Each structure stands twice: as C-alpha cells, then as structure tokens.
Structure 1
Amino acid sequence: MRTLLYIFCLLILPAGCAAVQPALSISNSENLETFAVKGRQGILINQELEFGEFETSKVKRSWTKGGNSRLQVPVGDAGTTGYPDLPSLNYIDRNQTFHFQMKDSTGQESDVYAASEFSSEDLQLEERSSVLEEILGFSLKSENFFYLQIFLNKNLQPWQLILDNEAAQVFPGKYRGILVLDENTYYSLEPISKVQGKKGPKSLLLGSIGYEIFNSRNHSIAAVSLVDNGKVYFNTNDPEERFLLANLCAALLLQENISEE
C-alpha cells in the first residue's frame, strides 16, 4: 500500500513526497504537537518505533502460531446492542501479523496485536449484511483489511479496529474507520485526502496519505501521516488518551511497511 502513497504524491508534486504536509482540520490549533517518527525505515530486524515521548518494544513479526491460525475477533461485547459479535478470523499468512508493547513515564503499558492484508473471505461472520458494514465501517467485499487489538494496562477488554484499506484509498471522502472499546467509547479515523499547498489545502487526485482521528464528540485530537518516515500529531494533553492514540498510530505506521520485508 505504500507504493500507492508514492504514486499519489508524484501525481500532485513533481518533487515527490518529501514536501507533502497533510492538511488537517486542526492545522492552526495552538495546541497541536508534531513528532517525527524514528525507526520506520531501514533494517526491520528488531525494529522499534519512536516519536515524542513514546517508544515501542521490539516489533515481533508473525506472532500467530501454527498453520491455519484462528484469531478471536469480537467487536464490542456480544450482548451489546448494535455491536455484533464477529466469532473469528481464519488467517493463514503469518507474515502479515505483528505484535508490540509500549510503556510511558506514568506507568501505563500496552500489548498490541495486529493482522494485515486479509480479505473478507477470512472473516467468519454469522451473517453478512449492510448492517454490519454500517456499524463496523468497512466493505465486506474488500481484499485488504487491517485488524487491531490494543490491550491497555490490566484491562481484559481490548480496543479494536477493523480498517478497510481499500475503502480508505478509493473513497477517502466517504470512508471512516472506527477504533472502539464499547458502544459509547470510540474514535473515528478519517482518511487524509488533502495536503498543504502554497495557496492553502489542496485535494489529492487519488487516495489518502494518513488518518485524522476524532473523538466521539467529533473533535480532532490526533493524526498520523504515512508518507516516508511518517509523522504523528497530537491535539490532546490527556495522558491516557495520548497513550492509546500513540499505540494506534504506531500500529498504522507498522502496517505500511509490513509487506516490504
């Protein structure tokens, strides 16, 4: 998918991606912090990502064991109204999975598990309907999903994301991903389809270059650029929120180079 990002950048800027800066809805916010990402490119053995006050552990690739791996993929509690249970994900390509941990200075810690580049055929759903598409925010016909679990501290219930990479590139103005803990606790991911130009924001001809992240009140509180080494943006001072979103941004950055190995 990174190849697509470079193509989009070359279409809009003769100089390539180096000068691309995302046009965020919070670009003029006095509280906006921008952090360059270290460790995304180069030799990926024992890879670690670092930005701002956050750093991942060494990233473990192919963390699923055995041949025909079976991951539990519930979205919300099974009994929660409006959030159906996804019983499992049959996933064979172990090369497209990764796991990392993160800690911060306040004592927070996390375990993050992800599976990338799988199709709708790998999802074992009790039903396939437009209701599922509306709630989960993805097309059941996609060939390029990204699934994420973030376990924070001692919590047994993970934050979860199923991201339709194809929809984010083909329909960036309409698609929204959702990082969800339960029915009332979630964040939405809006594909970034505009860049900063000399005369203001300029729309990309195709696709998106990252995600702007909104809370349940539709306030933009973070963003991640997936161009080159990547950048992470924070518009919140809440330590717990920053830590959660740091894990999310790190996972999105790692997804972009997992197929490069």
Structure 2
Amino acid sequence: MKLKINTILVLLFVGAIGCSTIKLGIPDQFKQQATEMHVKGLNGFTINQTLEFGNYNTSIIKNDWVFTREKTGHAWDLNAEGRILKMFNVDNLNKRTRSNTKYQYSLYGDGLESKIFCLEDKKLTESEIKTNNKWLGDFSQTRNYNYTFSAAILPLVQNFDDPWQVLLYNRYDAKRDTAKRFFDLPYIEEEGYAKNGDETITIRTIRTKNGTTAQGRDVNFPVKMPAGYELRIDDGVIGIIDTYDNNIWIYNDLDKETKLIVASISSAILLRKLGTVGTIE
C-alpha cells in the first residue's frame, strides 16, 4: 500500500535528521492561548498502566485482551484473474481479519473526575498473492479497511453529569481510492465527534508535512502524514492531540468542566491499540 511506503519514507527521513523527537507544529496563535501537556505512561507495559499529564492523572487502566480472528480462502474460483494465476501455480487468497478490544479507567483533575469506557473494532480484507517462488516472493494489498473507536465518558460532576458519546470512524475501499501518484495518500472516509445531546465537539484529523524537533527546528516531510487531531466547537479549536509526541493541548479559556471532557477525549484516543490516526495496514 502507498501509505505503508510513505510511512517508511518518513521514518527514514526522520532518521536522517537525527534522533530528535518530532512534534506536531502548533500554530502560534493557538499556542499562545493554550497549555501543552506531555502524556506519560503510554509506552511500555500495560500492566498497572496509568497516565499523567498536566494536572491530570488516571486510575489503573483496565485493558482487555486484543481478540483477533482470521479467515483465509482461495479467490481463484471467484474471478478470471484468479483462475489465470492458478495456472501458473500462483495462489490468489482472500484474507479477512477482525480485531477488537476494550479498556476503561477514571480520569482525575482540578478536583473533578470522569469515568471512561472505550471500545475498538477493526475489520480488514486483503488480497494475498503467493507466487510459490523464492525469487518473486509474496504480495498483499488492502481491499477494504473499517476501523471504529467509540467511547462513553461519564463526568462525575454536579450539574455537569450528562454522558458524552465519542466516535472515530475511518474506512478505506480500494475500488474508490483516488490515489494515483506514488506520493498520493489513499482516500479514506472518516468521521469524528463527541456529543452529549446538547453540545458537539468535532474531531478532525490533522495531516501535515510540517513538524518541529525538541530543539524547535522546523522539519518538512516529503508527504502529508496524519499527525494528530483537532477538537473543535463551532469554528473554534479547543484542543489538539499531538500523536507524534503524545502531547495534549487545551485552550486556556475553557471552564474546568469542559477541560475535563477535552482531557478525557484526548487521553482515550491516545490509548488506542488497534487504530492510529488515518492508518491503513
């Protein structure tokens, strides 16, 4: 897949500029009115895992196992192309994979608490070409990809206890892919929001060629890569999730109850196991 190749190119590019941590470039106007918080606890073992960022910390995160089911079948009897491949001892296979997991925890900050329950589900269909030739090797291509992340956030706050529903969804269909050139990224349908009945926070994927090092040096990538999310109410950005460096930015002028919701949404997204921003596998 093009996205895999482009991701490798970016990693090589990052390696070429040294071992510095790459951060999402935040617009100066927002940076001056927001607080950056680095999230500790995302890397390493998930046993007794907790997170800390800014004034926030979590309970021990209860992680479920990742359950994966695979089904592989021959496609040669379904289409003419597959039958021709079979004549040359080439196996054309359909591989279907479905994975899901869940996790839950509590988030504390500014004297407030929220309970967060998260579910992930991923469905992947691939075509696998097995040439049975050590010189040619095997090939695979994604045909369909569906990823859904959903969460329920329950603020334990007096007069602010309406539950929030969070949804992130992206879908790829090879038949509808508009990417033609080598550096084009695949076309992905996506949607993201958090709702509590009265209010809606739009969650928008950030794709950029720009980043900064820990020393503040600008970095330009060869392609636009998914780098995080914007959280927006109407036309205003109230939060940014930097998935490059695991940072959360929250707009300063929000009340502490709304900040708790932004922190809850952001931490839940960063804890995902099956889905990364805009990814096709």
Deviating 4+ runs (over 4 angstroms): 3-6, 25-28, 154-157, 169-172, 197-204, 256-259
Q: Which amino acid aligns with 1:10?
A: L
Give unpaired runs (5+ residues) of structure 1: 65-91, 121-140
How far did residue 235 of structure 1 move? Answer: 1.5
Alignment deviations for residues 93-137 of structure 1 (CA, whole Å, 9 cap, x no partner): 66x11001112233x2111111113349xxxxxxxxxxxxxxxxx
* Partner residue in 2 for 1:247: 264
How far did residue 255 of structure 1 move? Answer: 0.3
Alignment of 1:24-63 (within 5 A): 24-25=26-27, 29-62=31-64
2:11 is equivalent to residue 10 of structure 1: yes
CA contact (8 A) 1:119 1:145 kept: no
2:117 is equivalent to residue 103 of structure 1: no
CA contact (8 A) 2:56 2:110 kept: no
| Equivalenced residues, count | 204
CA contact (8 A) 2:10 2:221 kept: no
Change (3 A) 1:57 1:193: same
Q: Distance in 1 between matches of 2:240 and 2:40?
A: 16
Structure 2 residue corresponding to 1:185, chosen from 167, 182, 199: 199
Change (3 A) 1:44 1:236: same
Q: Distance in 1 between matches of 2:166 and 2:262?
A: 12
Alignment deviations for residues 193-252 of structure 1 (CA, whole Å, 9 cap, x no partner): 12336997857625412111111x220111111225x11111133201110011111111
Alignment deviations for residues 49-100 of structure 1 (CA, whole Å, 9 cap, x no partner): 1100001110001299xxxxxxxxxxxxxxxxxxxxxxxxxxx966x11001
2:259 is equivalent to residue 236 of structure 1: no
Change (3 A) 1:18 1:100: farther
Q: Distance in 1 between matches of 2:161 and 2:167?
A: 19
Give unpaired runs (5+ residues) of structure 2: 67-97, 125-143, 173-184, 277-281
Alignment deviations for residues 111-166 of structure 1 (CA, whole Å, 9 cap, x no partner): 1111113349xxxxxxxxxxxxxxxxxxxx74211111111116775211221245
CA contact (8 A) 2:206 2:226 kept: yes
State the TM-score, normalized to the length of structure 2. Answer: 0.60
Q: Which amino acid aligns with 1:117?
A: D
